Amino acid sequence: MTYDAGTVDVAVIGAGHAGIEAGLAAARLGAKTVVFTINLDAVGNCPCNPSIGGTAKGHLVREIDALGGEMGRTADACTLQSRMLNLGKGPAVHSLRAQIDRNQYSQLMKHKLEQCPGLELKQAEVVKLEPKEGKWLLTTRLGAVYRAGAVIICTGTFLGGKIFVGEVSYESGPDGMFPSAFLPDSLRELGISLRRFKTGTPARVLRSSIDFSGLEVQQGDEPVVPFSYDTEGKLENKAVCHISWTNDETKRVILENIGRSPLYGGQIEGIGPRYCPSIEDKVMRFPDKPRHQLFIEPCGLETEEMYLQGMSSSLPEEVQVQFYRTIPGLEKVKLMRTAYAIEYDCCDPLQLDATLEFRDWPGLYGAGQFNGSSGYEEAAAQGLVAGINAARKVLGLGRVVLDRAGSYIGTLIDDLITKGASDPYRMMTSRSEYRLVLRQDNADERLTPLGREIGLIGDERWEKFSLKQEQKKAERKRVLSTTLAPSEELNALLVSRETSPVSTGVRLSELLRRPQITYKDLEPVDKTRPDLPEAVFENVEIELKYEGYIRRQKADIEEMRRLEQKALPRDIDFSTLKGLRLEAAEKLNKVRPENIGQAGRISGVSPADISVLLIWLSARNKEEK
């Protein structure tokens, strides 16, 4: 039996990182929203690792925050330890990573959903999804039927989830939750193409069973840099992490039991993440490597669970105990949660457009691991975009599309919908050809105006942003016009930094362009320096130091956007175009790009094919005139 549970504008299936951002964005934009979760205690759960950010992922968190999303603010409130990664490299790849209190993060996110006006948070399993009379009908396992104008699928690893530990396997979501067992069949009935992916997680171990005395200590960075532009006040590092290494004995135990791994025994069919392999996969892939690093990280301040980053496994429990105990510091370790692999269903993202809406199913969106990505940050970014567009669709407003020249979020989505995902997609700085422009320090400058335009940035944040832009403009003008006279103090400073002294007056901007000199270095001789936030100085210095490279990259962006403006008809059959190679026509018909720029990024489409498309499009436009 079923019953009518009412009508909403937007329904979100799943309350992980994608579902949270999707639900909050939709409700904040004025859409009546319901967010379904299989277990209310798992809202914002971090089943993989207790951290937010990391290389390129920190960029995503900053961008989510700049648009008005929630991940950055909540991560700041739960930070245990913060580090800025890649400081030995250029500013394009500097990325913030925070160790967070896992339980606190979940509780805060759940409370934010509960308090959000226009949003209902509901514990229920959606088992059926079907279109009817311009709406989507969602049926729960207990028989409730909801009608929604738009639906966002954010099922994470719950969709058809199956756990593997050695020879043991069973249907389950992460952390022993119930899986979403019925929804996959409903999606297949709609004609949505699904595939199996796999991921894994390490064991959680008891703090008191670890011998920290011989381990390398990893401190957080000072001062702590927040993710969110809203965060005020000083953040503190509250915990340390530790580093250890595997050894020959670890390798021996794993190799002797490799046949009991479901990954190598054939039980696991799903494709695993290329850039986050299990420890047994590392041993098999890199047989000549003598050791592998692991990080021992706290899961929270009010728990004794510790996380072993870099040591995910699907070997039997007794084998896990054996190989973990070969590692220095873990000789007497006690497992609290056994490591496992999880296999799950996800869609082929080539079925989606740039708003993350299914091309063949208007009003149906996908976000997060359901789209073939991996990672909390990638999920949250997609959830935000899907939530914005789902709300705007039901409210009769235009689409919001982020391109790859304006954000890492745009790069992520463009990669998914044009290249697909043959394995779980992970964002990396190398995926962006415009990474010197898409730095984490200028995420607000790139995206906050858009967040304001669509209604996710309030007055207080906008005033703060506007003030920062005014300060930056004034400071840039000051350093370009201020000249320092040669002096013993200035030249002693320059020589101490291994750069040439000066004999005539020199502008501050010219000194800052020197790679050896920083704003901080010049403080003693910069007598007119105003009292400004460090973020302003950082922006100005980077833009001066890399001015030529940034100018060149912006020219590339202009060319890309010129091609993006050449729209392709949605109903075109590429196989009818003379001059296109067969492979290109097949790929173009499958992906159905919206414009020439997108077409050029599809694997299997060559520059010669793009020339054919440009000639055909030009001739077509002339005919229409």
CATH of the domain at 396: 3.50.50.60
Output the average pLDDT for the chain: 95
- DSSP secondary structure, 96-109, as one string: EEEEE-HHHHHHHH
Q: What is the pLDDT of residue 311?
A: 96
Q: Are residues 425 and 480 in the same domain?
A: no
d(C-alpha 66, C-alpha 72), whole Å: 9
d(C-alpha 464, C-alpha 236), whole Å: 23
**What mean pLDDT is predicted for residues 123-128?**
98
pLDDT reading at 625 higher than 80? no
Q: Of 325, 342, 359, which closes a domain?
A: 342
- Over the stretch 182-217, which tens digit does the pLDDT of each residue have? 999 999 999 999 999 999 999 999 999 999 999 999
Residue 623: pLDDT band with limits 50, 70, 90: confident
> Among the listed ranges 139-153, 327-341, 399-413, 608-622, which one has the minimum average pLDDT value?
608-622
Instruction: Decide: 373 and 425 in contact? Cβ < 8 Å.
Output: yes
**What mean pLDDT is predicted for residues 69-82?**
98
Check residue 602 and report its DSSP letter: S
Q: Are residues 227 and 193 in the same domain?
A: no
Q: What is the pLDDT of residue 410?
A: 97
Percent of the chain surpassing pLDDT 70: 100
**What mean pLDDT is predicted for residues 334-344?**
97
Instruction: Decide: 20 and 43 in contact? Cβ < 8 Å.
Output: yes
E strand or H helix at 25: helix 17-28
- Over the stretch 363-400, which tens digit does the pLDDT of each residue have? 999 999 999 999 999 999 999 999 999 999 999 999 99
Q: Cα angle at 512 between 507 and 518, to 5 degrees?
A: 135
Within 10 angstroms of residue 94's Cβ, the number of other Cβ atoms is 22
Q: What is the pLDDT of residue 56?
A: 96
CATH code assigned at 282: 2.40.30.260
Give the type of residue at 32.
Answer: K
Residue 593: cis peptide before it, omega within 30 degrees of 0: no
Q: Are residues 175 and 54 in the same domain?
A: yes
Q: What is the pLDDT of residue 266?
A: 82
**What mean pLDDT is predicted for residues 483-504?**
95
Residue 346: pLDDT band with limits 50, 70, 90: very high
- DSSP secondary structure, 355-409, as one string: TSBBTTSTTEEE-GGGGTB-SHHHHHHHHHHHHHHHHHHHTT-------TTT-HH
Q: Residue 506 falls within a domain, yes or no? A: yes
pLDDT reading at 333 higher than 90? yes
CA pseudo-torsion sign 592, 597, 603, 607? positive
Q: What is the pLDDT of residue 267?
A: 87
Q: What is the pLDDT of residue 212?
A: 98
Instruction: Decide: 334 and 205 in contact? Cβ < 8 Å.
Output: yes
Q: Cα angle at 359 between 354 and 362, to 5 degrees?
A: 105
Q: Are residues 336 and 352 in the same domain?
A: no
Q: What is the pLDDT of residue 1?
A: 85
Q: Residue 454 falls within a domain, yes or no? A: no
d(C-alpha 310, C-alpha 280), whole Å: 11
Q: Please count the CA atoms within 13 angstroms of the CA of 594 that sit on its side-chain side.
A: 14
Q: Residue 461 falls within a domain, yes or no? A: no
Q: What is the pLDDT of residue 570?
A: 86
Q: Residue 97 falls within a domain, yes or no? A: yes
Q: What is the pLDDT of residue 269?
A: 82
Q: Are residues 20 and 158 in the same domain?
A: yes
All residues at 6 or more sequence positions from 559 whose CB lies less than 8 Å from its CB, including other chains: none
Beta bridge partners of 495: none
Q: Are residues 40 and 51 in the same domain?
A: yes
Residue 245: pLDDT band with limits 50, 70, 90: very high
Residue 417's closest CA among 366, 377, 374? 366
- Over the stretch 425-474, which tens digit does the pLDDT of each residue have? 999 999 999 999 999 999 999 999 999 999 999 999 999 999 999 999 99
Residue 249: pLDDT band with limits 50, 70, 90: very high
CATH code assigned at 575: 1.10.150.570
- Over the stretch 280-312, which tens digit does the pLDDT of each residue have? 999 999 999 999 999 999 999 999 999 999 999
Q: Residue 507 falls within a domain, yes or no? A: yes
pLDDT reading at 78 higher than 80? yes
Query: Pairing relation of β-strands 340-347 and 194-201?
Result: antiparallel
Q: Are residues 259 and 326 in the same domain?
A: yes
Instruction: Decide: 305 and 299 in contact? Cβ < 8 Å.
Output: yes
- Over the stretch 218-242, which tens digit does the pLDDT of each residue have? 999 999 999 999 999 899 999 999 9
**What mean pLDDT is predicted for residues 482-495?**
95
Residue 404: pLDDT band with limits 50, 70, 90: very high
Q: What is the pLDDT of residue 167?
A: 95
Q: Residue 406 falls within a domain, yes or no? A: yes
Query: What are the respective helix, strand and coil percentages of the chain, to the nearest 5?
Result: 40, 20, 40
Instruction: Decide: 34 and 176 in contact? Cβ < 8 Å.
Output: no
What is residue 543's three-state secondary structure?
helix
Q: What is the pLDDT of residue 275?
A: 77
Distance from the Cα of residue 314 to its chain's centroid:
25
E strand or H helix at 301: none
Instruction: Decide: 395 and 9 in contact? Cβ < 8 Å.
Output: yes
Q: Are residues 126 and 224 in the same domain?
A: no
Q: Which domain holds residue 237?
A: 204-342
pLDDT reading at 181 higher than 90? yes
Q: Residue 308 falls within a domain, yes or no? A: yes
Q: Are residues 231 and 91 in the same domain?
A: no
Q: How many domains does the chain have?
A: 4
pLDDT reading at 273 higher than 90? no
Q: What is the pLDDT of residue 198?
A: 95
pLDDT reading at 624 higher than 80? no
Beta bridge partners of 140: 126
Instruction: Decide: 9 and 148 in contact? Cβ < 8 Å.
Output: yes
Q: Is 338 left (phi over 0), alpha (psi -120 to 50) or beta?
A: beta
CATH code assigned at 482: 1.10.10.1800
In degrees and rounded to multiples of 5, residue 443 shows phi and psi of: -60, -40
Give the type of residue at 347.
Answer: C
Within 10 angstroms of residue 39's Cβ, the number of other Cβ atoms is 16
Q: Residue 451 falls within a domain, yes or no? A: no
Kindly state the tokens that stand for 236. 């503190």
E strands, 521-612, where? none
Q: Are residues 159 and 37 in the same domain?
A: yes
Kindly state the tokens that stand for 492. 């002693």
**What mean pLDDT is predicted for residues 595-603?**
93
pLDDT reading at 258 higher than 90? yes
Q: Are residues 29 and 166 in the same domain?
A: yes
pTM for this predicted structure: 0.96
Q: Are residues 245 and 134 in the same domain?
A: no
